[in-house]
A = this chain, B = another copy of it.
Amino acid sequence: MDPFLRKHLSRSVQSHTPYTPGEQPSFGQKVIKLNTNENPYPPSPSVKEKVVEGIQSLNLYPNPQASDLRKSISILNRVSEDQVIVGNGSDDILNLCVRCFGDEHHSIGILDPSYSLYEVLTSIQGANLIRIPFQTEDFKIPFQLIEKSEANLFFITSPHAPSGRGYSLIELTDILNRFQGIMVIDEAYVDFSSQSAVPLLRDFQKLIITRTFSKSYSLAGLRVGYALSSPDIIEILDQAREVYNVDKLAQIGAQAAIEDQAYFIKTRNDIIASRDQLSSITEGWGWRTIPSSTNFIFTQPVDKYGKKGKVVAQNLFDYLERSGILVRYFERSPLTDSYVRISIGKPEEMTMLVKKIKEWRLHEKQK
């Protein structure tokens, strides 16, 4: 880099590595996209109806407190409105958590592997990172290591990504009792599971639960997420928030989506049914498949010679990509590098996926 610019850069940015999202194919490119855990169904029809009404008044600033949306969220989760903060995607909220509770004297703790954005946000904040690796291939929470860590704030993804494993309320209560700092439970995928940490808000002031409209509400394109916590923590996050962080159409659209629970339940249940069907198929092939509480499965491919591992997973990933199907492969961790992560699409997309994998199992010349 240019020496003039290097000299002027803030220290944390000098050593920063940005986040790498899953591939977004360019418009018009014909692929089956099962790589970023998007919802295959469009948003509720009432989103369109309400958003259209909002366009005419876009010349005015949005409500800076997102009051109506926060009210709907509070009703949905049976908490009070001062326990809710809304963000420009849950990424915005995760960033606020790091900015409010992380610096060089306040470490941020993460599990490895998990959502890689936590680490990116910590790096740009210049905060110290404490990385705790999972100890077992079933992604059990490493309770003692987290308890002994000196993290000021700790991120737990529940259900976990990229494994898809869910955690019980007993496990979450246990870790909240053991860990002494602020705890973020990132529930991006919780609507596809049967357990949420929301009941624990009553007992733990230090608990922050983050949520997104990107997965179960089919609104990845609209960038809306939120957090639930104690009023004291919400107040702290709120004063660090950009005043107009959520635009008017995003507020309106997310509210419309929440209020159409019939559509939400229908599409969510369809996805869960497809997921369970796909898991049965991969397990039927003898592929180790983590029981999923999310809208994706994490499975360990086995080739026609009975082999599994890094080369085999990479080989399947490449084969599917050449066949126009994008899935996700995480080569960085030994706990993930023999697996592929497959988002749940529409039934016809799942049928095509299974057909292509069957072809791979029979015919593909292995490297």
Contact = CB atoms under 8 A, between A and B. Distances in A.
Contacts of A140: none
A38 B59 contact: yes
Nearest to A39: B59
B247 A100 contact: no
Interface string A209-238: 000001000111111000000001100101
Contact of A124 (B27, B56, B99, B181): B99
Interface residues of A, number: 84
Contact of A61 (B36, B41, B101, B205): B36
Nearest to A98: B10
A18 interface: yes
Contacts of A5: 205, 232-233, 236
B42 A59 contact: yes
Contacts of A33: 60
B61 A2 contact: no
Contacts of A221: 54, 57-62, 247-249
Contacts of A9: 100-101, 106, 236
Contacts of A240: 13, 16, 18, 124
A86 to B, nearest CB: 13
Contacts of A152: 8
A306 interface: no
A4 B205 contact: yes
A60 B242 CA distance: 25
Interface string A224-267: 00000000110010111011111111100100000000000000
A1 interface: yes
How many protomers of this protein does the assembly include? 2
A47 interface: yes
Contacts of A124: 99, 240
A54 B55 CA distance: 13
Given A56-B42, A106-B10, A214 B61 contact: yes
Given A16-B240, A106-B8, A2 B99 contact: no
A48 interface: yes
A11 interface: yes
A185 B38 CA distance: 38
A164 interface: no
A331 to B, nearest CB: 20
A290 interface: no
A200 interface: no
A253 B54 CA distance: 12
Contacts of A100: 9-10, 13
A43 B59 contact: yes
A245 B57 CA distance: 22
Given A12-B99, A59-B220, A89-B244, 7 more contacts: A4-B205, A9-B236, A18-B238, A42-B56, A42-B57, A221-B248, A221-B249
10 contacts: A5-B236, A10-B127, A11-B105, A12-B103, A38-B61, A47-B55, A52-B55, A61-B220, A91-B243, A223-B244
